[in-house]
Structure 1
């Protein structure tokens, strides 16, 4: 199994954040069998692309966050707030993060609670998920 080293990723990609967002976009498209991709706009509000309608008629979107050191939960929360405020039909958000998150910490729980109030399920996609998806 190939280990993912995010420091090497940064070295190989001069624009590591942009490269990470592209990687997450491809994984999102693969997950939902979107062979032709997803509509995207410049400066998408709260999400990386427009939400897609899945096979169960649920609207799904994603946010990609590349952190060099510590996870900034306030940054994630701000993006999620914008997504919740701008996409009332949203049912599911995948949060792709390159660092190991503590999804049981108070900040992560607050993000999940805020989403739950709007009927949105949060899926955390963390380093172990990348390891499985990319190997």
Structure 2
């Protein structure tokens, strides 16, 4: 009986490997499908947050529950104090602060950082 248990047929191994690759394929398809749907949804609805007329330009955390936020409403920027209990407009900015675009991480920048770390260790 022990001979039967130790022998695994090649058909069983093939079915396990096939099921593994099928599962990985479903995960990859789900990932790319959700990315496609999110970009399509953002294009048709404006923003993923739903805000069309209000933008947060910058935020500074000043305590456990407090922060100072610069928001833009209809082209006018305001400095707002925000805490758990209160939201208060501090001032209207005379000169608008330009909104910084988030820097995209490219393969080149990753490779340069990786190379700099590997060279430091030598």
After TM superposition, the score normalised by the length of structure 1 is 0.23
Structure whose residues are more often strand by fraction: 2
After TM superposition, the score normalised by the length of structure 2 is 0.24
